[in-house]
Chain A
Amino acid sequence: MEMGWRWDFAYEILPQMLWATLNTIIAAGVGYVIALVVGLFFLLGQRTPSKIINFINREIVEFIRSTPLLIQLFFVYFVLPQFGIKLSAWLCGMITIGLHFGTYLSEVYRGALEGVPKTQWEACRALNFSTVYTYRRIVLPQAFPIAIPGMGNYLVGIFKDTPLLSTIGVAELFHAATAVGGYNYRYLEPYTMVGIIFLILSVPAAMWVRKLETRVNVAQGKIKQ
């Protein structure tokens, strides 16, 4: 077997890798949208007046957050069929990523809501605004900018965790690299290319999130320009 980097081989597998990258981006995007919605439900569970629901919600979030995503994937993928629920690898992956990162996003939402000064609530109460109106027009518009950096960070985070989906057979970038590598018995080029593609996509994204973070902090007067 030839040692060292082979450009011809890298060039040959490039189209395949780029197609698989598209799958990775779709997986990250869909997983993220599910996580955004799931996060809202966990947030609701946290803010309902019922102490029992608060408690159950907190324990579920704590459990999901302190166990590895990899085993959660296996659990959903292997256990659900035993109860007669047959889902595709894609669907299992999306549900698990959505649940896992939903717990993190609920924390982002909570932090953002708590970032809105209490006096805003009191002012709305004094003006006799309804709760819905207060949320819609006063609190959420102020909370949203605070949540943006955290939300951006988890988008990048989900993107970087998509390779885990390959373990249950979702045909994303890492899966393609392993398949190509196994077929040709050359892992150097495929895995290196995966790394480079991830760098090209996630470093600018992370930089953009950091820039947003600074802008939000400046707008809130936390740091001076």
Chain B
Amino acid sequence: MAKRVGAEGSFAVAEAVRLADTDVVAAYPITPQTHIVERLSEMVADGDLNANFIYVESEHSAMSACLGSAAVGARTFTSTAGQGLELMHEVLYLASSMRLPIVMAVTDRALSGPLNVWGDHSDAMATRDCGWIQYFAENAQEAFDLTLCAFKIAEHHDVLFPVMVHMDGFHVSHVVEPYLLPDKEELGDFLPPIDYPYPLDPNKPVSMGAFAPPAVYSECRKAQDVAVNGTIAAVANVWNEFNKQLGRQYKPIETYKTEDAETILIAIGSFNQMASVAVDKMRAEGKKVGLVRIRLWRPFPLAAFRQAIKSAKNIVVFERSMSYGGTVGPVCAEVKSALYGIKDAPRVTSFIGGLGGRDMSPKHFEGLFKRAQEIFDKNLDIQYETIGVRE
């Protein structure tokens, strides 16, 4: 029977890694690390998880150790955030191009400088194009569920890509909240043992990570791009199976009160929960507003996204990172690209906020809707606004 427990999101992730019978955890144990690996190292030390815990000297080494571990066919997990994800950056591309099924929880944090370890999506967006499957959990329950699902997705023979499970630093990782912790029996055969099809084996030697000259590099890249874009159905199927087994449904694009919505807010991450309260209040006032939560960020579920915003005349994007020197933030750029060429495409306005741990309440989100309306009504020529900043 599932137990209802109160815990940090970090601990919920650690429980999922334990239930998955993970073989190897390679992680850098100091800031910007979270309690995820602290808890995992306790589990290993106490004998609650029969895994090799590799303490490494940097995040670059952590991901490098994960490459080796996954390449021999071991179920592999790591976790990092912020500056740590940046230090790992080079190796992230190797994991995806070598198609190694590594699972990583990222408790998204701001990047320096100025030095700030609080939550935003600067780190996540900097890894946007590294070829991993990336999705977002908005609370402890989702962090637990989606970490568990990540192993099944990454190791699925139709997928074989590393998976990043994003969750907001502090708002999810450090907040104590209740979640349902299932036992092994309840999981049934949802997560079978890993069966990586190309493990390193002295009796059947292969070369991984070999070089590719100009004559073949483009072919390798196209093969990888087509493969990762082709994983959307497999990701959704795993989430459907999870729902059958444990009764909680996840979708690549989540909608909230969007059926007849004329103005739709689009956001990523835990602040969506604040935004949904604002939507409730405005709906009660008769305003046709709704919320689209991008859960699967990479590969981007274009068809589901276009379906979800069908009724919208106005789109408001809220995001927690900047593209310095760019025309809009990374999420808005994706949204605008997804809308381009659609007949009678909705108007888009964009806000950036919640940076470096700055909070957003439902009232702030109500304010966003109002300001967006003003921008649309007056036809103001504004690419994006940075909100909540003292002038």
Report whether chain A binds chain B. Answer: no
